Structure 1
């Protein structure tokens, strides 16, 4: 992803840990993608395990961090965590949790995270809100041109399912040729009480919500919420 402040995201998540007096050494990053955030976590001295369902994403991540001895990667679905060690913190960045499209799968994910956390551990993730997906993304079409990439972003909102479907068309120019890439992304909007109830159902003790990049409470126009669950 271009124009993402990966370092800023990482620093914010670590500040949240410190706010709750959690000082992690071992961190699990679920849905880690190409590992850009892990690059900064590794530079800060943490031992990190990254998991993702995409083999292609993991290949890029492994190449990017091949010289880092404090980083490991596994191909794994975050809805079915199968790890045999415990972590001080579990992170998920960039609204990855919105890609879980039904509440039963979300519960499976939360239960798996709970099981791999040490007692007193912390789970931090961000989500696009209902307001964001419905009112801002909505049924909109956006055209962007960044460097050698021309893109069309078309969003479709389904109110009944609370799912936003993004159809992305990329025209990438390289020297004397160009090629098209088509992607479809689906994100589900969850309400805070749904998330809190699920987390407590799998025995997390405390759950907190922050407006992204702040320590302020969320409100009806919050675009991105950050969820903090304590074991």
Structure 2
């Protein structure tokens, strides 16, 4: 699994009898995953663009928009080529991304979310800017945290660049990297992708080794 995080998906897959190797760039997340002691799951610190393991797999998955964090063509090609090298012939590559028709039909707006309990108040502001030339949405997060006991406040800011894709782009990547697209559908629902479909799941099949 590419971008396995703390092992939440691996936990479910393990219960179904799968053996899972996870690639995650955050050492902190890998530590959390290891402490869960998930049977048949090996989380490894690594980058999904250049990971190298001495084995081949039946399938590779990457869920909840991990591929959308690869915002350059170079990064995408590196990732897809590495996936090809680590898959058995006929193996499956399953992932989901943001979908270009939906992004341009429903331009992302500013969203505010508030949470609180007895100890803290949290306000999360997500404000997006569009990079139309590179098919990227820069999601600017600002998280305001207030301690109710002492009144102290903390602000955390992050920018998440997210690339969105058309079906044609994914088909081109697949063709260039030794795959064929065998399915595209709305993530989790299975519906046909359309202009209201923010997340699309793609299933690729390895048809040849990448040279």
CA RMSD of aligned residues (A): 1.8
CA 1:136–1:62 in structure 2 vs 1: closer, same or farther (change >3 Å)?
A: farther
Alignment match, 2:209 = none
Structure 1 residues 1-231: aligned runs within 5 Å: 29-63=1-35, 65=36, 67-138=37-108, 140-147=109-116, 148-173=121-146, 176=149, 177-231=152-206
Higher strand share: 2
Q: Which has the higher contact order (CA 8 A, sep 6+)?
A: 2
Conservation of the 8 A alpha-carbon contact between 1:51 and 1:73: yes
CA 1:123–1:165 in structure 2 vs 1: closer, same or farther (change >3 Å)?
A: same
Aligned residues: 200
With normalisation by structure 1, the TM-score equals 0.79
**Which runs of no fewer than 5 residues in structure 2 stay unpaired?**
207-211
Greater C-alpha radius of gyration: 2
With normalisation by structure 2, the TM-score equals 0.86
**Which runs of no fewer than 5 residues in structure 1 stay unpaired?**
1-28
CA 1:173–1:35 in structure 2 vs 1: closer, same or farther (change >3 Å)?
A: farther
CA 1:205–1:135 in structure 2 vs 1: closer, same or farther (change >3 Å)?
A: closer
- Structure 1 position 89, deviation (Å): 1.1
Higher helix share: 1
| Superposed CA offset, 1:72-101 (max 9, x none) | 111111111201111111110111101101
| Superposed CA offset, 1:19-51 (max 9, x none) | xxxxxxxxxx10112222122112222111111
Conservation of the 8 A alpha-carbon contact between 1:88 and 1:117: yes
